[in-house]
């Protein structure tokens, strides 16, 4: 008997902008990632407000899933997926974000995608906003810093809920809603679409950290996303009471580098700010006490937290389940001059007990067990789901076309073992979708070379490749995992 419950949602996760391509097809409007160029582990991605001819933009074709989704979903079916997490690209449904009527061609596209999933018994789990804010919302409204965008999001969400109410049961509102709460510049733009006039006038590319950051606007935009998310939850349940609507947090798991009590205090502070402000608002329906203290420490006017109507919506629109991405853990210390490592969105001090990927992400399966237990005790009774976990690596194609990605299998095996232990600990875990079951464009670096898939895609950073798909060794391994409900992992 498997330790995982019957109906456990095994599968994989993607985001439209990182896999679909077809960036202006089917009536789609531009969205934020369409303006981003590629980088690599040492070169940050850049942004330019106009699309330059002859320049390579990774999202424009991505891995061409827009045209190949039937083949790809068939491969997911062959692996035995029970669940496929994907995002709807907002700009396919409302090309300008504020259009009167939705774009029928975009709606029909996702109808067909969901039908294809159901053919193979795959339950879709749909993220409504995965770093895909329509570009016109950025230029016209400065993203979620404008409260009118709350209504635009709710209209988009309810359009999707109504259209797909019999095809999709599991929904997530915003991907990694907590990213902009940390002082990382990338989050401003990607997650909340906040940008200043001077950056919209740029004529040559700049790096994301060079984009002007206005912390007051950033934090108000997150608040507006909380309200938008809660309203979507409330409206969604009216449309179909069986909907399961969740949040999605980029869980950054922190350890003290030393037993110095001040390192421990720093861990507590970071965990509270990075992870718990958003989790508490969306699961418990109220800001935790340390949110205001944090905002005030940045010199912000916190009156946006006192709007009674918003607080009532937040109180009522709590999520049905908590989902998160988990890739690695980070250490923190008050000591200076320690070795640092990179990480997903933010790095930390180097942990001497852990190895890291070629992109500097420290591999820590025990941290997943720890995180699951932490969340289960913080949000008692709330079902949990790991909706992103994966290993970005360079893959080598052998002469016969095979790809021996034992490093990826080993990463997943250890994380599944950790989930088993967490379930035995009593954690209410309902599913697991690996990040990037098929190779796709990296969000952080814009690379194809940072590969996550069980399925290889012949596409490269110089724009070459014919997009053909092939199965890596990990494909056959994960097939056994899905088919055995997580029992067979050797
Ligand atoms: C998460 C994002 C994903 C995905 C993943 C891997 O933070 O939700 O969109 O990209 O990280 O990151 P990267 O693509 O930078 O390797």
CA–CA dist 178, 185 (Å, integer): 13
> Which atom of ligand 1 lies at the shortest distance from residue 441's CA?
14
How far apart (Å, rounded) are the C-alpha atoms in residues 17 and 461?
16
Q: How far, in Å, from the CA of 365 to the mean position of ligand 1?
A: 18
Mean pLDDT taken over the chain: 96
Distance in angstroms (rounded) separating the CA atoms of residues 291 and 277: 6
- Shortest-distance Cα residue to atom 4 of ligand 1: 443
pTM of the shown model: 0.98
Tens digits of per-residue pLDDT, 117-146? 999 999 999 999 999 999 999 999 999 999
The residue assigned the tokens 């001077």 is: 198
Average pLDDT over residues 363-384: 98
Report pLDDT for 189: 76
CB 175 within 8 A of CB 90: no
Measured from the CB, is residue 325 less than 6 Å from ligand 1? yes
> Catalytic residue among 20, 116, 123, 176, which?
176
40-56 average pLDDT score: 89
Question: What pLDDT, on the 0 to 100 scale, is given for residue 187?
Answer: 60
Confidence of residue 347 (pLDDT cuts 50, 70, 90): confident
At 222 the pLDDT is: 97
Higher pLDDT pick, 54 / 176: 176
Q: Which two tokens stand for residue 351?
A: 């942990």
Q: Given this model, what pLDDT does residue 181 score?
A: 92
User: Ligand 1 center to residue 400 CA distance, Å?
Assistant: 30
Please give the domain boundaries of the chain with CATH numbers for all domains: 9-483 (3.20.20.80)
pLDDT in tens, 15-45: 999 999 999 999 999 999 999 999 988 888 8
In tens, the pLDDT along 93-110 reads 999 999 999 999 999 999
Model pLDDT, residue 208: 85
What residue's CA is closest to ligand 1, atom 14?
Answer: 442
Distance 138 CA to ligand 1 centre (A): 21
Tens of pLDDT, residues 386-432: 999 999 999 999 999 999 999 999 999 999 999 999 999 999 999 99
User: Is the pLDDT reported for residue 346 higher than 90?
Assistant: no
Label residue 7 left, alpha or beta by phi (over 0 means left) and psi (-120 to 50 means alpha): left
Does the beta carbon of 435 sit less than 6 angstroms from any atom of ligand 1? yes
Structure tokens at 169: 């049961």
Residue 235 CA, ligand 1 centroid: distance in Å: 29
pLDDT of 44: 86
Task: Give pLDDT, residue 342.
Answer: 79
Annotated active-site residue 421? The verdict is no
Q: Is 13 in the pocket of ligand 1 (CB under 6 A)?
A: no
Is 388 a known active-site residue?
A: yes
pLDDT of residue 186: 60
Largest interatomic CA distance in the chain:
64
Find out whether the beta carbon of 176 lies less than 6 Å from any atom of ligand 1.
yes
Q: Are 115 and 153 in contact (CB under 8 A)?
A: no
pLDDT at 318: 98
pLDDT tens, position by position, 154-212: 999 999 999 999 999 999 999 999 999 986 666 677 889 999 999 999 998 898 888 89
How many angstroms separate the Cα of 45 from the Cα of each of 202, 208, 345? 16, 7, 13
Question: What does the block give as tokens for 237?
Answer: 């349940």
Average pLDDT over residues 314-321: 98
């Amino acid at each position: 008997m498997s330790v995982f419950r019957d109906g456990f949602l095994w599968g994989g996760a993607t985001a439209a902008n990182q896999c679909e391509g077809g960036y202006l097809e089917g009536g789609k409007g531009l969205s934020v990632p369409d303006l981003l160029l590629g980088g690599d582990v040492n070169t940050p991605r850049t942004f330019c407000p106009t699309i330059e001819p002859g320049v390579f933009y990774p999202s424009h074709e991505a891995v061409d899933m827009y045209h190949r989704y039937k083949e790809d979903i068939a491969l997911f079916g062959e692996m035995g997926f029970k669940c496929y997490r994907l995002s709807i690209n907002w700009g396919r449904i409302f090309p300008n974000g504020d259009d009167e009527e939705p774009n029928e061609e975009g709606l029909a596209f996702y109808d067909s995608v969901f039908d294809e999933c159901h053919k193979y018994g795959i339950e879709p789990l749909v993220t409504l906003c995965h770093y895909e804010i329509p570009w016109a919302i950025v230029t016209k409204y400065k993203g979620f810093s404008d409260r009118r965008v709350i209504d635009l999001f709710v209209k988009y969400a309810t359009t999707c809920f109504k259209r797909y109410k019999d095809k999709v049961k599991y929904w997530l509102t915003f991907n990694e809603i907590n990213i902009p709460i940390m002082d990382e510049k990338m989050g401003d733009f990607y997650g909340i679409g906040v940008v200043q006039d001077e950056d919209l006038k740029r004529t040559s590319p700049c790096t994301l950290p060079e984009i002007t950051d206005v912390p007051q606007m950033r934090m108000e935009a997150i608040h507006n996303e909380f309200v938008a998310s809660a309203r979507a939850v409330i409206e969604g349940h009216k449309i179909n009471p069986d909907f399961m609507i969740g949040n999605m947090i980029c869980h950054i798991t922190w350890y003290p580098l030393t037993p110095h009590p001040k390192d421990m205090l720093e861990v507590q502070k970071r965990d509270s700010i990075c992870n718990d402000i958003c989790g508490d608002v969306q699961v418990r329906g109220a800001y935790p006490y340390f949110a205001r203290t944090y905002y005030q420490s940045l010199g912000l006017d916190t009156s946006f937290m006192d709007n009674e109507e918003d607080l009532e919506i937040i109180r009522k629109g709590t999520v049905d389940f908590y989902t998160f991405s988990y890739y690695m853990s980070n250490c923190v210390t008050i000591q200076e001059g320690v070795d640092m490592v990179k990480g997903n969105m933010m790095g930390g001090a180097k942990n001497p007990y852990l190895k890291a990927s070629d992109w500097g992400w420290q591999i820590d399966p025990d941290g997943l067990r720890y995180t699951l237990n932490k969340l289960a005790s913080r949000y008692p009774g709330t079902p949990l789901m790991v909706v992103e976990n994966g290993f970005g690596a360079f893959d080598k194609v052998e002469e016969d076309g095979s790809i021996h990605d034992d490093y990826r299998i080993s990463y997943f095996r250890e994380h599944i073992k950790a989930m088993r232990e967490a379930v035995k600990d009593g954690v209410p875990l309902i599913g697991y979708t690996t990040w990037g079951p098929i190779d796709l464009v990296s969000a952080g670096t814009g690379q194809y070379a940072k590969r996550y898939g069980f399925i290889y895609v012949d596409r490269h950073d110089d724009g070459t490749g014919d997009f053909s798909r092939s199965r890596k060794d990990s494909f056959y391994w994960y097939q056994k995992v899905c088919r055995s409900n997580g029992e067979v992992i050797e």
